[in-house]
Structure 1
């Protein structure tokens, strides 16, 4: 309940970010919250782990790029932005914490308990279909080939992206 209100607040606050590092941090927090929220709902949380690790890997690459391009810019925390975030998160928590949402959560939990036995056998079939295995293997081979190509093309003696 509170996790979804924080996700909504982060989504709204991400539109006000101006620095690339703060945008990346907001995206990482948003992904972590979303993965935690979805892993509590689903029976197998491995898909959320893969999503989180993929996003963090991409953010690390973007962080390295931004650190080499915009290394001299100062990163300031805005007090106005912090007050706005605290106010919005408090408002979201108050708005989502009513009897109707509690009743809805109770019904969802009851439905989840009733269908657990039926879903237990087919929990991984939602994410991976055996008839699409050729596409998955082809994508893996393309990604490995791309990784090997980029590793061979890039030279460690060239230096960083930005010359000082």
Structure 2
């Protein structure tokens, strides 16, 4: 399953290079984020980290979507059907070769992830305490201040009267 997700991620990475329209790039980035979140969720004890990662990226993508639709709204979206069919054919051929050569690809191997989860659960109670101890306290405060300043800047930029976004009506 991991190889399948990695192969899909590689396919969308190659597709991202060839896209020219900002909306298709955003859709491609959103699909990449979903695949990486799934991969992180498979390898961790819970899906909370991958869920938070996906929500943060989705929030950023909504801001980018707002900018793209206001600045490049009249740009045409060209979709080449032959190119899409060729990519899907290559992807299906690669997947069929992998499936016939390696049957363990479709089985979920939980041995590695269960060992990692056991190590992760040993110190689960102390993880939050370590976040606010002396060595990492400075980094935590720096991240909090950075996120607060980013929030203030984003609010200032998206002000309708003074910001770069034009009105859509």
- Higher relative contact order at CA 8 Å, sep ≥6: structure 1 or structure 2? 1
Runs of 4+ aligned residues of structure 1 deviating over 6 Å after TM superposition are none
- 1:1-164 equivalent positions in 2, closer than 5 A: 1=1, 2-100=4-102, 102=104, 108-114=109-115, 116-122=117-123, 125=127, 129=131, 130=133, 131-152=135-156, 155-158=159-162, 161-162=165-166
- How large is the RMSD of aligned CA atoms in angstroms? 3.1
C-alpha deviation, 1:137, in angstroms: 2.2
Unaligned ranges ≥5, structure 1:
none
The alignment's TM-score, normalised by the length of structure 2, stands at 0.76
CA contact (8 A) 1:10 1:26 kept: yes
The alignment's TM-score, normalised by the length of structure 1, stands at 0.77
C-alpha deviation, 1:146, in angstroms: 3.7
Unaligned ranges ≥5, structure 2:
none
